[in-house]
Amino acid sequence: MTLPDSSRPATIADVARTAGVSRATVSRVVNRHATVDPRLAERVRTAMSDLAYRPSETARNLSLGRTNTVAVVVPDLGNPMFQAILQGATRAAAADGYQILVADTQEDADAEMRIAIDARRRCDALLLCAPRMDDDDLATVLRQGGPVALVNRPVPETAVPQVSMDYRHAVGLVADHLAELGHRRILYLGGPIASASNRLRLAGLDDAARRHAGMVIDRREVGWSLDAGWDVADDVLSSDATAVIAFNDLVAIGLLSRLDDLGVPVPQRISVVGVDDIPFARFTRPHLTTVSVPQDRLGTLAWEHVHGALTGAPAAEPVWLRGELVRRHSTGPAST
């Protein structure tokens, strides 16, 4: 009997030879298939541990036509929103025995399709987070086949699983809150114009303007980051708005910080409200009024949809998640 070279990882053939059985039998023992004679099984097991045998994932991927891996494609790994989704998806997938391949498109809408298709080829399914690509490209990706779930990118077809935050509703909540406090001149600091979630927010603002007579909502496009909020502070002060709705908590926090530096009292002079309720929102000065957005739920739900599709469950209906207003201290009665 030729001893297997100990420098090379043991293969199923090594185990079979050592145990004096066929590869098929080793495979059956490993996968607890069918019935194998207990004594044979025992011989196989000792051979496996003697050789420190670990089945090759690569080989079984090919043989089974399945990788137990799912790709998550995000526009920017530095964005807390996508970090939360990634975390939710990773943990949920791990509980079902799946691994996550992560791809960061770095906000490049053109590269996005290529990256998504590439990632898809090594994985059983695809989780697209707020894809920036246009509808045509998205359709191309969907046509590649294999289960795909969309997060925060609603599309008309209901056949593809989708999970989205209802930002339209969320923005409505904060607008109503501000209206109740007597605000009529409101400034919206928008995020990436191309993003679907920004369009939803804009729709929510339109709804609100319709609901509340006399409400005027001016708009600026600033971005989604702390710095964006900081940079826009002077602009905000030179407007006649009594309240600001920020694209998200990051923008709101950046703005709050700058206003504080300038000695502007919030909410007495101006009210500021965010969206997302990220952990930091509770630790600002003043504490930020915002809308809770269960971001990790987005990831978890998206995983459940994909997992359902992988296990042959019927296609799930699109899901819209709604947040709740979190009243803290950055909003107050209108100053005039």
Partner DNA sequence: ACCCGCGCAGAAACCGGTTGCTGGGTGAGA
Partner DNA sequence: TCTCACCCAGCAACCGGTTTCTGCGCGGGT
Residues near a second copy (CB under 8 A) = 9, 54, 56-59, 61-62, 65, 67, 69, 77-78, 83-84, 86-87, 90-91, 94, 99-104, 106, 119, 121-122, 145, 226, 230, 253-254, 256-257, 260, 279-280, 282-285, 287
Bridge pairing between strands 325-326 and 290-291:
antiparallel
Of 120 and 132, CB closest to DNA? 120
User: CB of residue 66 vs a second copy: minimum separation in angstroms?
Assistant: 9
Q: Containing H/E element for 124?
A: none
Of 23 and 297, CB closest to DNA? 23
**Binding partner of 18, given DNA, a second copy, none, CB within 5-8 angstroms per partner class:** none
Of 179 and 226, CB closest to a second copy? 226
Find the part of the chain contacting DNA (CB under 7 A) among 14-22, 136-144, 266-274, 326-334. Answer: 14-22
CA atoms of 93 and 90, how far apart (whole Å)? 5
Per the listing, tokens 């996005």 go with: 112
By CB under 7 A, name the one of 4, 23, 108, 286 that touches DNA.
Answer: 23
Q: Which of residues 44-103 bind DNA (CB under 7 A)?
A: 53-56, 58-60, 62-65
Closest alpha carbon to 334 in 196, 191, 214, 230: 214
- Dihedral pair phi/psi, residue 204, rounded to 5°: -65, -35
Of 28 and 258, CB closest to DNA? 28
User: CB of residue 141 vs DNA: minimum separation in angstroms?
Assistant: 19
Bridge pairing between strands 162-165 and 216-221:
unpaired
User: CB of residue 99 vs a second copy: minimum separation in angstroms?
Assistant: 6
**Binding partner of 86, given a second copy, DNA, none, CB within 5-8 angstroms per partner class:** a second copy
Neighbouring-strand partners of residue 94: none
Tokens found for residue 93: 């997938």
User: CB of residue 57 vs DNA: minimum separation in angstroms?
Assistant: 8
Bridge pairing between strands 162-165 and 185-190:
unpaired
CA atoms of 48 and 145, how far apart (whole Å)? 38
Find the part of the chain contacting DNA (CB under 7 A) among 21-29, 223-231, 250-258, 303-311. Answer: 21-29
Q: Which of residues 230-249 bind DNA (CB under 7 A)?
A: none
User: CB of residue 192 vs a second copy: minimum separation in angstroms?
Assistant: 18
User: CB of residue 49 vs DNA: minimum separation in angstroms?
Assistant: 14
Rg (CA), the chain: 26
Residue 82 CB neighbour total at 10 angstroms: 24
Can residue 195 be called a binding residue for DNA (CB under 7 A)?
no
Of 13 and 315, CB closest to DNA? 13
* Torsion region of 34: left, alpha or beta (phi above 0 gives left; psi -120 to 50 gives alpha): left
Closest alpha carbon to 278 in 254, 248, 300, 258: 248
Neighbouring-strand partners of residue 164: 320
Please check whether residue 92 is in contact with residue 40, taking contact to mean a CB–CB distance below 8 angstroms. no
Neighbouring-strand partners of residue 272: 244
**Binding partner of 23, given DNA, a second copy, none, CB within 5-8 angstroms per partner class:** DNA
**Binding residues vs DNA (CB under 7 A):** 8-9, 11-13, 20-25, 27-28, 30-31, 33-37, 40, 53-56, 58-60, 62-65
